[in-house]
Chains A and B, each alone.
Chain A
């Protein structure tokens, strides 16, 4: 009993330290999305490339795709851009949602680098973004053939994320029957 009393502070420090250690590996800015495994919100917007053309979620019905939320003012979007290009080169269809951006800025951004997107929807007011629970750019959604969100990545995609998570996931989802 007496020995336990001397051990108690040590036990408390170890338990507390354990919790703090776990805390260090977590990202406090990450808000888990309740939209995962839910049907993706439908939308229709003018295309960034051509304001006359209407694009929307029905364009990728029945397909396994990525929807990437980006903006020209977003620094970490530039950081992940090459990863998106590499994914597109491997045959993953990537649709873009240009979020709260001036059309000319968005187009400049795309013309200054290679363009990995099938098309870009122009969400000038950020309303579609809110409907998708967007709280920071970049965000990347993986959408399955039934039009459900299966995964959400917040922040810039690294090549490791793409290789370990996105590509295998796309492969698995493609094998699912409609």
Chain B
């Protein structure tokens, strides 16, 4: 009984939200609320390159912490958003961006889902048209029609 309670308690503890990870990790001592706002927005645009599927805002990896520090330093030094993005892209490539710009290399990435959707819609349309045409075909066989009528009439007589 006691072990069951312990297990349940542990399960419950696991469900509880852990220490907040949403970029609130490092102390941010921006005096300027606009700058702070820009910093928070940029955190969601940049990827943590070691954790790959987390943004800088989500990640507690050492590299993410360093990149956040770099971002803060550059913003404080008066860099524009574009300058910071250019700095990161020059070092880590477009992979560091959560929204890479449309280029020859990223063309399929951006358009792929829509192309697949179009193929799916086309397939759906063709299949639907074919099955409708099949339904419209009259029963050509005279004997079969006769048999069908007889079966229907049988029901009425009874």
Contact = CB atoms under 8 A, between A and B. Distances in A.
B92 A135 contact: yes
B50 A135 contact: yes
A133 B96 CA distance: 11
B112 interface: no
B63 interface: yes
Chain A interface secondary structure, helix, strand, loop or mixed?
Answer: loop
B84 to A, nearest CB: 12
Given A129-B66, A135-B63, A31 B89 contact: no
B68 to A, nearest CB: 11
Interface string A90-116: 000000000010000000000000000
Given A135-B50, A136-B50, A32 B93 contact: yes
A126 B62 contact: yes
Given A125-B66, A126-B62, A130-B66, A34 B89 contact: yes
Contacts of B92: 31, 33-34, 133, 135
Nearest to A29: B52
A155 to B, nearest CB: 12
B30 interface: no
A127 B91 contact: no
B62 A33 contact: no
A34 B70 contact: no
A125 B62 CA distance: 10
A35 B93 CA distance: 9
Contacts of A31: 49, 92-93, 95
Interface footprint category on A:
10 to 19
A136 B49 CA distance: 9
Nearest to B47: A31
A14 to B, nearest CB: 17
Contact of B91 (A29, A100, A130): A130
A27 B66 CA distance: 24
Nearest to B92: A133
Contacts of A126: 62-63, 66
Interface string B55-70: 0000000110011001
B113 to A, nearest CB: 16
Interface in A135-171: 135-136
Given A135-B49, A136-B50, A34 B90 contact: yes
Given A31-B92, A100-B66, A135-B92, 11 more contacts: A31-B93, A34-B89, A34-B90, A34-B92, A34-B93, A35-B90, A126-B62, A126-B66, A127-B66, A130-B67, A136-B63
20 contacts: A28-B52, A31-B49, A31-B92, A31-B93, A32-B93, A34-B89, A34-B91, A34-B93, A35-B90, A35-B91, A100-B62, A125-B66, A126-B62, A127-B70, A129-B66, A130-B66, A130-B91, A133-B91, A135-B63, A135-B92
Interface of B: 49-50, 52, 62-63, 66-67, 70, 89-93, 95
